């Protein structure tokens, strides 16, 4: 399953690479927590990620940092993710750089470690994965990413991403393709100040605002119009209703609360 994922990711990267180079992005946003760890900066992975990015020549900012002037356009920065490949007696980590649409721009070689202690193993595996990031010889080109990424390019990349999702779900044989979401819901108003952007994760999506800050985490269910949702430590559901709008529903003080969420998948 994991090998198929990486093969499909490589195909996606080859297509997305025509649209944009990593040199066209001004900085990289670093999450405090990856999917395979339980707490923020566990095993110092966020700190180590930033150290490696700086060593590779990138500007790096944590997701909870206030971005300085000139870095607030979310499509002019990259978003880093670290993925763990489960393997017996070997820790394997892969670094991915994604654009503001959640599409993979670069995937590293697999970094490996045979150390038994997690903190030591994760550091060694991450450092090894970053060797292929160093090989990029990153240097900001000054090209405006938002202008360069035309609607046609976005459509092409999104189509490949939809295909990737469909194939992965076919292999898993339990979850309908997430690409159906784009068909089910109408296009949101991109000028809405409350608009959230969906970035794919291994288990579903994370919704980020224009800061960018992670506002909500979504976990897939067997229904394409329903997610398990977590917002501000409150767990509920994100539901696409008959009016074509998404709603976050949760119980607060034994009362059902429904909040409209404007989201672009």
pLDDT tens for 109-141 read 999 999 999 999 999 999 999 999 999 999 998
Same domain, 136 and 197: no
Q: Note whether 86 and 188 are same-domain residues.
A: no
Does residue 104 sit in the same domain as residue 221? no
**Beta carbons of 63 and 30 less than 8 angstroms apart:** yes
Question: Cα-flanking dihedrals φ and ψ of residue 102, to 5°?
Answer: 80, 10
In a domain, residue 141? The reply is yes
Both 223 and 142 in one domain: the answer is no
Residues 214, 257, single domain; the answer is yes
Distance separating alpha carbons of residues 132 and 106, to the nearest angstrom: 10
Q: At what angle do helices 45-55 and 118-129 cross, to 10 degrees?
A: 30
Q: What is the domain count for the chain?
A: 2
Per-residue pLDDT, averaged over 200-212, amounts to: 85
Full residue range of the structural domain in which residue 124 is found: 2-148
58 near 28, Cβ under 8 Å? yes
pLDDT at 153 over 70: no
The answer to whether the CB of 175 falls within 8 A of the CB of 168 is no
Question: What is the predicted pLDDT for the residue at 142?
Answer: 86
Shared-domain flag, residues 138 and 251: no
Q: Are residues 67 and 106 in the same domain?
A: yes
pTM: 0.55
Q: Given this model, what pLDDT does residue 144 score?
A: 63
Higher-pLDDT residue of 164 and 67 is 67
State CA 124 to chain mean position distance: 23
Mean pLDDT for the stretch of residues 196-218: 87
| Cβ proximity of 218 and 207 under 8 Å | yes
Same domain, 138 and 11: yes
């Amino acid at each position: 399953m994991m090998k198929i994922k990486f093969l499909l990711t490589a195909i996606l990267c080859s297509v997305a690479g025509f649209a944009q180079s990593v040199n066209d992005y001004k900085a990289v946003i670093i999450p405090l927590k990856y999917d395979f760890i339980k707490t923020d900066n566990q095993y110092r992975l966020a700190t180590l990620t930033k150290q490696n990015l700086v060593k590779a020549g990138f500007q790096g900012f944590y997701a909870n940092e206030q971005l300085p002037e000139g870095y607030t356009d979310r499509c002019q920065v990259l978003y880093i993710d670290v993925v763990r490949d489960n393997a017996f007696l070997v820790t394997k980590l892969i670094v991915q750089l994604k654009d503001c649409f959640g599409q993979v721009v670069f995937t590293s070689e697999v970094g490996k470690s045979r150390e038994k202690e997690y903190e030591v193993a994760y550091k060694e595996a991450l450092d090894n994965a970053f060797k292929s990031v160093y090989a990029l010889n990153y240097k900001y080109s000054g090209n405006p990413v938002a202008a360069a990424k035309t609607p046609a390019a976005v459509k092409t990349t999104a189509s490949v991403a939809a295909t990737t999702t469909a194939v992965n779900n076919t292999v898993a044989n339990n979850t309908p393709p997430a690409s159906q979401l784009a068909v089910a819901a109408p296009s949101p108003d991109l000028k809405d100040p409350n608009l959230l952007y969906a970035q794919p994760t291994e288990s579903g999506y994370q919704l980020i605002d224009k800061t960018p800050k992670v506002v909500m985490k979504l976990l897939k269910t067997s229904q394409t119009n329903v997610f398990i949702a977590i917002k501000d430590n409150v767990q509920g559901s994100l539901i696409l209703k008959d009016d074509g709008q998404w709603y976050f529903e949760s119980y607060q003080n034994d009362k059902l609360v429904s909040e409209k969420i404007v989201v672009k998948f």
